[in-house]
Structure 1
Amino acid sequence: MPEPDLVIGLRERAQQLFAQACAAADPARALANALAEAPLPRPDPGGIYRIVAVGKAAIPMAEYLLGRLGRAAFKAVVVTNAENGRPLRGARVYVAGHPVPDDRGARAAAAVEALLTPAVAADRVIALISGGGSALLPAPVAGLTLADKAEVNQILLAGGFDITEMNLVRQQLSRLKGGGLLRIASPAPVTAHILSDVIGDDLRVIASGPTVAPIGDRKAARDLLHARGAWQSLPEAARLVLAQEDVALAPLPPARNILIGSNRKSLDAVVAAEGPQAVVVNDCLTGDVADAAAKVIEAARRESHGRPACLVFGGETTVTLRGDGRGGRNQELALRIAMAMPDLGRSWVFLSGGTDGRDGPTDAAGGLVDAATPGRIRAAGGDPGLLLARNDSHAALGLAGDLLKTGPTGTNVADVQILLFA
C-alpha cells in the first residue's frame, strides 16, 4: 500500500517540476535569448515594422518585442485565446476561439491581412508564432464559410487526427496557413520567431506554418481523409475545395524562421531541476492515448527498481472520442495510468499536463494521479471504467481530487509527463 505522507510529498514535487517545465518555455525569455543572438533587422528609410503575434504565447512575446523597439515606427496586431487575452499598449489585441475557430478569429485574420497587404520592401515584417495559431487565425479560402472550417476542425479533433494530419488539411482551406502570410506580406522581408508546440519542431506544422511551405497539397489531404474514413463526414463545401486540382503557384517569398523554444527544452529543465535521479525516457510520446499509456507503464516496470526516481516524457497524444464525456488527452492518459499501473512495490505519482494550462475544453491542464486514484473515484460514487469508456476523464479525476489546475501559463510547448517514485 502507498504511504500517504510519501505520496503527498511526491505530488507536491511533481507539480513543482511541471512548473519548472512551463517556466523553461517562458515566451519573453525565449525571445530575449533569440534576439541576443540575432538582433531585429531594421526597416529601410521610410519603412516601418509590421508585427503579427499569434498563438497562446502571443501577448508575452509581443510585449517583450514592443519594449525593444524604442522610437521605431510600428504597427502591431496580436491574436490569442481568451484565457491569455489582455490589453497591450501599442497593439490591437484580438481574442479568438480555440480549439474551434469562431467569428472573432475571422475578424482577427482580416486585421492581420489588412496590416500586411500594404507592406512595401522598406518595411520589416516580424511574425511571433506560437501554438494554437491554427484555430485562432481562420481565413477560409473562397467557397468556404467559417462554419464549414469549424465543422472540419471538430471532425478532425474527434477523429483522433494528430497535429500534422490536422494541419495538412487545414492548410488547404486557409488563405494564411502554409506560407500564406508570406504571400500577403510580400515584398517586405519576413522574420518569424517561433515557439514550438509540435514534437519534432516541424515548422510547417506549428500554427499551420504561416511563414513556411505547406506540409502537402490537396491530393495528400484527400488521400489522408479517405484513408481515415472521414471524407464523407466533411461539409460539402470543404469537399468541393479539396476536390479541386492543385494549381502550381509561384515560389514562396523567402523568410527567416527562428525556433526559440520547444518541448524538449522543457523536458531538459525538469531533469536539471531533479538531478541525477531523473531521465528523459521518451521525448516523442505521440499517437493514441491508450498506446502512450502502455509505453509509460512499460517504462515504469522497467525502471521502478533501478536508479532513476523521476521518469520524464514529452509529446502530444490523440484521443478518439467514443463517448459523450468531457476531458482531454492529458486527463485521459492520467486516468488510464491510474487504472492500469501494476503494483510496483513502491509509492508513485504520475502527472500529465499541457504546458498551456488547458487540456481539451476544460478548466484543467491535465491530471495528477497515484495508486489510490481508482479507489477515490469509487469512494466518491463513480465507476472509473465506465467514465473512461465515455471519455469522461474530467469527471473521474474530479471525483478523485486529481485534476491538475494551473490556470493559463502564457506559453505552449505541447505536453509534459512526470512519473515519480518514492
Structure 2
Amino acid sequence: MLSTRTLNRGLAGAATGGLILGLLAAVPAQAAEPAPPSATAVATKDKGGAGQGRSVAAAETSAAARSITRSEVIERAASWVGIGLKYSWTNTYQGYRTDCSGFVSMAWGLSTPGLDTTSFVPAGVASWIGKSDLKPGDALLNDAAGANGHIVVFGGWANSARTSYMGYEFTGSGMHYREIPYPYYSGHGTFRPVRNNSIVDDNPGDQPIAGNWDGGAASNVGVWRNGMFHLRNDDGSTTFVDWGGGTDLPVSANWDGTGPDNVGIFRPSTGQFHLRMDDGSLALIDWGGGTDQPVAGNWDGGAAANVGIWRDGKFHLRNDDGTPTYIDWGQAGDRAVSGNWDGTGPDNVGIFRPSTGQFHLRMDDGSLVVLDWGGGNDIPVAGNWDGGNGGPAANIGIWRPSQARFHLRNDDGTPTYIDWGQPR
C-alpha cells in the first residue's frame, strides 16, 4: 500500500473600508497603508478576502521566481495550517505577509513579503488556465483589489464530478484546509483558475507496492514506474502490468476475492480508484481526492478487499456496501499503511512516522503496537513476507528510495533485504 502527503486549512471574510490596490505599476511607492480591520470584524469572517498589504515590486518578484514542484507547493501550503497564525495586512511570518496573497506567495516560493491579488497575473508570475487544467499547486484567484480580492491554493478535486475541491486559504479567521465548492463560495466575487508560471510537475520516480502476485505462501514486492507495475515473483522473475500514469498512486489488494492480489491506482486529481481485476477489467470507485493517502484492505471481513484513504489523521474506509468506517489514527506528516497485524478478523490500519522511524499499528481491539523500523524518506509497505511461519499476521517494511531497497521485517524481527526498482 502506498502514500503521499498531508494537509490543513483557512478562510475568512471581507474587511471594512476596502484597501483599493490597482495594478502594481499604478501603486505609488509611498502609498500609505490603511488601518487594519478591527479584531471583531476579522474574527467573524470565515470566507473570502479580508484585506491585503502592499505587494513586493512586480519586477523583483518576476525575476526571483524559481522552479517549484507541485508537491513542494502543497507541503509549503500545509506548513502554515494549524500553527495559530493570525490574519494581518502588516505582520509577517517567514518574511511573508500573513494575508491571503502573502500566504500563496509563500506557497509558490515568490519573493517576500509577497504579491497581492491584483498582481499575480500582471507581474508575469501566473497565467489564467481552464478548469480542466487544474492540478494540485495551482490556485483559484479573484483578482479584485484589497478586501474584495482573494486567492486559494488548489489541493485537488474532492469528487469525480469536480463540483468541489480541497483548498488551502488564509482568511480573516485564520488558516484553513477544507473542501470548497468550485470555483468558490457564492457571494464572494468571481474566481478563476490560475497557474504559477514556474511550477513543474513532480517526477516521483519509482513507488513501492506489495501483494501476493503469484499465489505463493508469502507476499511479494514491486514498484510502479511511469504507468507500469514491475512486480517481483517468488522466483525473482518480473511480471509487468500497464496501469495508470501521471501523478497516480499505486495500491494493491484482492479486489475480486479470488486468485492472487490485484493492482490498482488512486488518481488524486479526480478522487477515483482505478482497480484492475483478474481478467484485466476495470472497476472505478469514487473515494477521496486531493492530497489524501490511499490504503487498501479487507475492512469488513467479506471475500474481497476494499479501498480507503487517510486524511488529516483519520482513515475513511469503504465497506462492501459503500458505507464508510472512520478511524482516527496518526497525525500530520505520517504515512498511511494497512495490513492484518494480529492475523485475525478484518485488516487493520496503521501509520508510519518518518520523524521517529516508528510504525504505530492499530489492533482489532483498538490497542496500539509500536515498532521501530526505518525513518527519514523511507516509504512504508506491508505484507506477509515469511509466509507466516505458520501464522497469518502481516509484517511491516520500508522501501528506501536512495537505495531502491526493501527492508522487510519478519515475524521474529529479523530483516530481509530485496533490491528492486531504481534509486531516486
Q: Do both proteins adopt the same fold according to a TM-score greater than 0.5, normalized to the shorter chain?
A: no
Tell me the TM-score normalised to structure 1 length: 0.30
- State the structure with bigger RCO (CA 8 A, min sep 6), 1 or 2: 1
Tell me the TM-score normalised to structure 2 length: 0.30
- Give 1 or 2: higher strand fraction: 2
Specify the structure having the higher radius of gyration (Cα).
Answer: 2
